[in-house]
Amino acid sequence: MLYFSDLLQYSDVFLSGLKTTVELTVLTTILGVVLGTVCATVRQYGNRASQRVVSVYVELIRNTPFIVQLFFIFFGLPAIGVMLSPWEASMIALTINLGAYSTEIIRAGLASISKGQIEAAKVLGLNFRQTLTRVIFIPAFEKIYPALTSQCIIVMLGSAVISQISVQDLTYAANLVQSRNFRAFESYFVTALMYLGLSILLRFAFNALGKRLFAYRTSN
């Protein structure tokens, strides 16, 4: 038998967990995409050595599990003198993780901009920074926007793992509630639905944001 009503008295536990998950997601999405943009630009237009450094970073992160990265940062780094709170460690791990994936995605966008456009910008007297911000970035981001946003959602879902270093996120709330009332199925089921709602909501938000960001298409 299922007793979903047993969860009602813990609604504030779920809500505060949800709040932590949302906060971390918003923060790491912004930081991760910024990191990815910087790394992708270096990877595409930087010199040999810096390209190499970015490649190593991207491949290392993309080929190891997030939970190991998290454990390395939270348990491993204090051994060499870097002490981090669980919240800080999760934020750094999530940002680094999203940063690596978004580097790959954004770089594909940058590579899709034809050389002629960059040369045209040069001829028109734009310097490199102006070319980047006014000629390259917007169409590049528009091309990869769907891939980038789904990666952000994947990272949000992956953040469930941070409950393992006792960050009090949504998954932590689910674990706490089921340890109190032993309603494991109900607790995890409701939490899974909350994550599902969150990912659907995020997709809507990203779509709305995309319409605003790339509005120049429809305005002319």
Partner 1 sequence: MIEFSNYDILRNLLFATQWTILLSLAAFIGGTTVALTLTAMRLTRNPVMQRIVKIYVELFQGTPLLMQMFLCFFGLSMLGYEISAWGAAILSLTFFTSAFLVEIWRGCIDTLPKGQWEASRCLGLSFLQTLRHIILPQAIRVATAPTVGFSVQVIKGTALASVIGFVELTKVGTMLNNATFEPFKIFTLVALIYFMLCYPLSLYSKHLEKKFNVSR
The residues that touch partner 1, with contacts defined as CB under 8 A, are 59-60, 62-69, 71-72, 75-80, 153, 157-161, 163-164, 171, 174-175, 178, 182-185, 188-189, 191-193, 195-196, 199-200
Cβ-based nearer residue to partner 1, 51 or 199: 199
Cβ-based nearer residue to partner 1, 4 or 128: 4
Q: Is 88 exposed, middle or buried (0-12, 13-18, 19+ CB in 10 A)?
A: middle
Q: Measure the CA–CA gap between 54 and 44, rounded to whole angstroms.
A: 10
Q: Measure the CA–CA gap between 172 and 169, rounded to whole angstroms.
A: 5
Minimum CB separation from partner 1 for residue 123, in Å? 31
Cβ-based nearer residue to partner 1, 63 or 219: 63
Minimum CB separation from partner 1 for residue 137, in Å? 26
Instruction: Name 14's Cβ contacts closer than 8 Å, sequence gap at least 6.
Output: 7, 170, 173, 174, 177, 190, 191, 194
Q: Measure the CA–CA gap between 126 and 216, rounded to whole angstroms.
A: 21
Given the structure tokens 């390395």, which residue do they identify?
Answer: 72
Minimum CB separation from partner 1 for residue 195, in Å? 5
Cβ-based nearer residue to partner 1, 59 or 119: 59
Minimum CB separation from partner 1 for residue 63, in Å? 4
